[in-house]
Amino acid sequence: MAILTKEQKDKYLAEGAQACPICGSADISGQSFESEATEVWQNVDCRTCGEGWRDVYALSFVETDDELNGVTK
C-alpha cells in the first residue's frame, strides 16, 4: 500500500474525493460505511491501480427531526 503525501491528500479532498489519490483514475469503488464511537469511515479501492485507502468522515452539522421535516416555530 502506498503512503500518501500531504499534497496528494490535500488534492484528493479539494477535488471532492472523486478520483484515486495515487493514479488519478475516477474508477474508484467505496465499500459500506463503518463506525466506532465518534468515527465513521469508508474503505475505498481504485480499480485501475489496485491501491486502497480509507475516507474518514467528521461531524459537520446537526439538525433536529423537526428541522428535517420543515417544521417551524
DSSP string, 15-73: TTS-S-TTT--S-EEEEEEEEETTEEEEEEEETTT--EEEEEE-------HHHHTT---
Domain count for the chain, please give it.
1
Asked if pLDDT for residue 63 goes beyond 90, the answer is: no
Cα distance between residue 30 and residue 35, in whole Å: 15
Q: Is the pLDDT assigned to residue 20 strictly greater than 90?
A: yes
Asked if residue 63 belongs to a domain, the reply is: yes
Q: Residue 17, by phi and psi: left (phi above 0), alpha (psi -120 to 50) or beta?
A: left
pTM of the model: 0.78
Q: Which domain holds residue 37?
A: 6-68
Residue 59: inside a domain: yes
- Specify if 13 maps to a domain: yes
pLDDT higher than 90, residue 19: yes
Work out the pLDDT band at 73, boundaries 50, 70, 90.
Answer: low
Model confidence pLDDT, tens digit, residues 45-54: 999 999 999 9
